[in-house]
Structure 1
Amino acid sequence: MTKALSIMSLSLTLALASAITPAANAQPQPASRATLENYENLIQTLPFDDQRSFDEAKAGFIAPLPNDGVVKNENGDVVYDLKQFEFIMQGSTAPETVNPSLWRQAQLIMQGGLYEVADRIYQVRAADLSNVTFIEGDTGIIVVDPLISAETAKYALDFYFEHRPQKPIVAVIYTHSHVDHYGGVRGIVDEADVKSGKVKIFAPDGFLEHAVAENVMAGNAMSRRASYMYGNLLPRTPQGQVGAGLGPTTSTGTITLIPPTDVIKETGETHQVDGLTLRFLMAPDSEAPSEMFFYISELNALCTAEDAVHTLHNTYSLRGAKIRNPLAWSKYLNETIYEYGDTVEVLFAPHHWSLTGNSRVLEHLRSQRNLYRFINDQPLRLLNHGFRMTEIAEMIEMPEALAQNWSARGYYGSNNHNIKSTYVRYLGWFNGNPATLHKYPERDAAKRYVEFMGGADALLEKAKTSYDQGDYRWVAEVVNHLVFAEPDNQAAKDLQANALEQMGYQAESGPWRNFYLSGAQELREGIKDLPAPDTASPDTIRAMDLDLLFDYAAMRVNYEKAGQTEFKLNWVFPDTKQEYVLELQDAALSHMAGHQVPDAAATITLNRTDLDDILLGQLTFEKGIQDGKIEVDGDPDTLSAFLDMLDTFEFWFPIVTPVSMEAANK
């Protein structure tokens, strides 16, 4: 645990530069004939004449974002820049290199500014990946989901106060445990006001645990993949990043966290906040592990967090995450319809635009309910017939009403990968065919495939023919074998890049586009020597409990370095009055709270605050011992041996080429 935990959170990808100038040797290709045919087919089959979404997105507009949507930190560094997307002009025709449906969504989500959602409810949109909502109580302001960064949150609050009366913030609501819904909290409130009771912070049960822990155990891999999902390294051009489908892009400022004061545990729980009645509905294991809706009785206004936004969402995130539950998701929306359907007049969310009018709100809620129910039930029907994951995803077509509903299109999630996630949720990765039970690893199988196909030259020649025919999926599948068999074969990587690029141009999902184009970029240019992002803020580290910290350490034990070593270590934390014992046996590290053992090799005594400093890279164990902050009673070599067997992780590992086998023992 000597290395700062700068690689443990999804949010660390947000610290990447918001725009990267493409390298001189990068050569994006124009849209191919097959891509143009796909473009024209979509123009003919989707209802582009339907402009209702644009009318609804413009409703309540008060003022555009100040400074063209550019936000800087206290050092003058840009942490968010909406101006980079000014090429996505309202009313413009989609470039041939962008799926026209995704371009339509990009035009909608780039409409930044201050909006009046309804009486006493205001939103600042497009000042980050998410919206921040300001609800005006009798004497103060309730803030809902204060963005990713303290800088963008402060920018949004200052902007709001330019147009509305200045009142104190009396409460903050975190609707769920993803960073774009709490990370900017210190930009709008002072923790001293929270501790004094002047400001309440409401959050769903399990919020703090999941906000801190969701991305710890697989955090490095998850974060590296997120750099693809959000297109962090792609230029903002018609050949590159055109938004994330869910919002414009992610800010790169200071991520903060203040623990909630009021944890909502049950559906129906009601709180009076500054003259308003807030009624909560729990929605765990839907879009986030910890999530909730709320209804404002006096305003007939409903917030459904991220469970009913204007896209098909992810039931599985391509960055990597635990699979979500579309059945529960659908049921929460159904419960909401039956509970509030008679009275609701306003629907708002921390992404996209709001809706007003009872019939319009119910129309949207019902279609979203049906969407997630369909994604749960239809894959189950087919898997019970014996069909397998990949073919099920190709077999299922959305009902016409959902397929023609712009707010049900796959701009963030996709039908294909969500349907696959339902299969895996119920049956796991194995498709039942024993031929697939013990397949060769990709790097080993690749060489065999290339040999079976007649060698590298023959494979490339056949793949080029498939490329000319527009069969990019097949090119990507086949040439991937050659890339993994011969990672230095640039001709193979260039062809693979060209195929992925055309697939990116065709993709309707923002994350799919970003994955394809990021893969093409890496194949052409390799991995750049960029600084590893570091956003494991002090708030995050200090919010982690010791059980999670020791679990994280256990995950890093390298079994080859551990060998047959066995030991027990007592840990004592005087400031928090906590004790732990760690036991290593069979290369597995276990821990138990509230215990000490007499046969421990050593007892390590230190304050939790000093451990936090170690995790943040501000102190080393050696310096702590030298300064008397850490006391080791017993054999200090055992502690050193333990620390030496913990792996560290490189952030910039390859994704579209094989990882070096030496990486397994770093």
Structure 2
Amino acid sequence: MTERSNEATKFTKASNSEFLSKLPFEDRRDFEDAARGFIAPLPDRGVIKDDNGRVVWDLTRYDFIKEDASSPETVNPSLWRQSQLVLKGGLFKVVDRLYQIRSADLSNMTIVEGDTGLIIFDPLISAETAKAALELYYEHRPKKPVVAVVHSHSHVDHYGGVRGVVSEEDVKTGKVMIIAPVGFLKAAVAENVLAGNVMSRRASYMYGNLLPPGPKGMVGTGLGMSTSNGTITLIPPTHEITETGQKMNIDGLTFEFLLAPDTEAPAEMHWYIEELKALTAAENCCHTLHNTYSMRGTSCRDPQAWSKYLNQTIDMWGDKTEVMYGMHHWPVWGKERVLEMLKKGRDGYRFINDQTLRLANHGYTPVEIAEMIEYPPELARHWAMRGYYGTLNHNVKAAYTKYLGWFDGNPATLHELPPEDAAKKYVEMMGGVDAVVEKATKDYAKGEYRWVSEVVKHVVFADPEHKAARELLADAFEQMGYQAESGPWRNFYLTGAKELREGVKQLPTPNTASPDTVRAMSLDLFFDYLGMRLNGPKAAGKKITVNFDFTDTGETAVLFLANAALNHSPDRQVANADASLTLTRIALNKIILQESTFDEEIKNGEVQVEGSLDKVHELISLLDVFEFWFNIVTP
């Protein structure tokens, strides 16, 4: 299968043209704000490499996005506008003592000048991009030492580059504080471990990592341009923010914090710097409607809590804030503009929560509600509530699921057939694969792309090798991608089309559990991770008990397999165990990171075994190893 793409059809052109008339493109305030305070561009035109010369970030791939260029026919004009804004990168002065480096990664890195050193907020995804961002700052500002790093929340684009700006030695000796909201470490580690493989595979769709940048391909994510692919690091926090209203003096500046858990991240916080009259609402108020459910896969987030925390932010600091800066996008200045952002964000998430529940209580299903709900004009025409990253449609479905679960109440959906079995029945009933494709081709010519994708997906699952069906489904996905206002929706559609046309290509596999993440895993989380990997059918009827004694941490535990479930108890050993292992946590980490094997660590004397080594090997043999490049749009 060869790589190809189509032009925008007349229906796609008409759909995109509607956005030009219904949205206030004459409002240029965002362009003025995104350019305000510009000091210097990113070095090397935004190309950042690791120590071996491998490119981990490259903004030149988006040179086709020009600020003064009209949107191509294959890109939604609203998304094109957002990409023009997001692409503005470099070093910016926000207010005296507060600077940002933007578009050096998916997120922003913010630097505040304390009395003696620097306080860094959210050091990007990769150590390499964070290091380059700090070097750009040092080229234009005094080279003071970093005295603190503050993580606004537990997603990797807000902590992964920490070793690019500070060393663990300086943290351990107290030269540098690492400050984060309570629950940060648990949330950061768990998200990258328990569902890491499937989440990362779906993220390759969501962030457009497999798409070539261009007017028919990747144009950004709405939140940022893309994700860097450098070294993800993590240094555990030394200080936790545990309550709203908590204050800290950090290098001469007064910080007041507001905890906002279970909003955009499980552990998240806002804060206000008194001396600078500067506020951040972390990722809960930025220049897009955010996800209350991320399509890479997450638990459903709480739009009601989201709204309430924004309201609390207004109550605590709204009247005294002069600038609000974000962990993505560009700041806004002046109390009036700050309050506009906060209030419309507050009301937008509240609207999603309350209107979903209102219609659910009328008996409507999530798919029906998502088609019925539209923002009122005052929210729909507010650029920062447009669906560049989250969308009203899938956020509504998430709100329904949060309250009522996946079942819509119709018994027909209670025990549906699996996709392949259902597909064969559908296709048979519709007259066979060729008949379905023939009818769907006529619907495609009418511009009914959603319907075509709904019907032809059954043909692809019933007969994956049917070339005409794959091509037709890819064509429908492509046009829906061209029309999408959301960056992730566009990327999902276009990546799906690419997979249908070219198949699944085996590329270098991303590491969902980086060395720092593994080292930060608690023993409890590690054993939960093993339990998730247990192959239940293979384990049926087997019983194995293993004691663990960690000589470097002083921890003990017993792991026991029974009834095809792997459980564990901390601070315990049993006398009748099949095997007892004495080892260090360091040795265990090496095994997890595949830097060594269990047998090699035994041979090296790092692991001692009493009892049955065969039982240990049997237990290990029951653990699944996951294939990353599984199919998504084909069976």
Q: For the superposition of Structure 1 and Structure 2, which TM-score range results when normalised by the shorter chain?
A: over 0.9
Partners of 2:129 and 2:329 in 1: CA distance: 17
Please list, as runs of the form range in 1=range in 2, the aligned pairs for 1:173-212 lying within 5 A after superposition: 173-212=150-189
Please list, as runs of the form range in 1=range in 2, the aligned pairs for 1:317-356 lying within 5 A after superposition: 317-356=294-333
Please list, as runs of the form range in 1=range in 2, the aligned pairs for 1:12-411 lying within 5 A after superposition: 25-411=2-388
The answer to whether structure 1 residue 543 and structure 2 residue 497 are counterparts is no
Work out the percentage of aligned pairs sharing the same amino acid: 60
Please list, as runs of the form range in 1=range in 2, the aligned pairs for 1:587-666 lying within 5 A after superposition: 587-658=564-635
State the partner residue of 1:11.
Answer: none
Q: Deviations over 1:138-191 (max 9, x none)?
A: 111110000011111111101011111111111110000000101111111111
Partners of 1:426 and 1:372 in 2: CA distance: 15
> Which of 378, 392, 399 in structure 2 is aligned with 1:422?
399
Partner-residue secondary structure (3-state), 2:548: strand
The answer to whether structure 1 residue 441 and structure 2 residue 437 are counterparts is no
Q: Say if 1:535 and 1:648 are closer, same or farther in 2 by CA, change over 3 A.
A: closer
Please list, as runs of the form range in 1=range in 2, the aligned pairs for 1:523-602 lying within 5 A after superposition: 523-534=500-511, 536-602=513-579
Partner-residue secondary structure (3-state), 2:420: helix
Partners of 1:202 and 1:191 in 2: CA distance: 14
Partners of 2:49 and 2:508 in 1: CA distance: 20
Alpha-carbon offset, residue 218 of structure 1: 1.6
Unpaired runs of at least 5, structure 2: none
RMSD: 0.9
- Report if aligned partners of 1:302, 1:346 keep a CA contact under 8 Å in 2: yes
TM-score by length of 2: 0.99
> Which of 431, 435, 438 in structure 2 is aligned with 1:458?
435
Alpha-carbon offset, residue 531 of structure 1: 2.2
Partners of 1:146 and 1:176 in 2: CA distance: 11
Partners of 1:479 and 1:215 in 2: CA distance: 34
* Greater relative contact order, per chain length (Cα 8 Å cut-off, separation 6+): 1
Alpha-carbon offset, residue 535 of structure 1: 5.6
Greater Cα shift, 505-514 or 136-145: 136-145
- Report if aligned partners of 1:255, 1:535 keep a CA contact under 8 Å in 2: no
- Report if aligned partners of 1:254, 1:535 keep a CA contact under 8 Å in 2: no
TM-score by length of 1: 0.95
State the partner residue of 1:515.
Answer: 492
- Report if aligned partners of 2:193, 2:512 keep a CA contact under 8 Å in 1: no
Alpha-carbon offset, residue 604 of structure 1: 1.2
Partners of 1:440 and 1:41 in 2: CA distance: 39
- Report if aligned partners of 1:133, 1:143 keep a CA contact under 8 Å in 2: yes
Unpaired runs of at least 5, structure 1: 1-23, 659-666
Partners of 1:491 and 1:546 in 2: CA distance: 51
Q: Deviation above 6 Å: which 4+ runs of structure 1?
A: none
Alpha-carbon offset, residue 536 of structure 1: 2.9
Partners of 2:403 and 2:492 in 1: CA distance: 26
State the partner residue of 1:8.
Answer: none
Alpha-carbon offset, residue 529 of structure 1: 2.2
Partner-residue secondary structure (3-state), 2:71: coil
Q: Deviations over 1:501-553 (max 9, x none)?
A: 00000000000000000000000000112222236322111000111111111
- Report if aligned partners of 1:217, 1:555 keep a CA contact under 8 Å in 2: yes
State the partner residue of 1:21.
Answer: none
Partners of 1:537 and 1:221 in 2: CA distance: 16
Instruction: Report the residue type matching 2:476 in the other structure.
Output: A
Greater Cα shift, 567-576 or 281-290: 567-576
Partners of 2:598 and 2:42 in 1: CA distance: 47
State the partner residue of 1:661.
Answer: none
Partners of 1:500 and 1:337 in 2: CA distance: 41
Alpha-carbon offset, residue 632 of structure 1: 1.1
- Report if aligned partners of 1:169, 1:189 keep a CA contact under 8 Å in 2: yes
Partner-residue secondary structure (3-state), 1:341: helix
Alpha-carbon offset, residue 307 of structure 1: 0.3
State the partner residue of 1:478.
Answer: 455
Q: Deviations over 1:385-406 (max 9, x none)?
A: 1100000000001010110011
- Report if aligned partners of 2:196, 2:513 keep a CA contact under 8 Å in 1: no
Alpha-carbon offset, residue 435 of structure 1: 1.3
Partners of 2:537 and 2:585 in 1: CA distance: 30
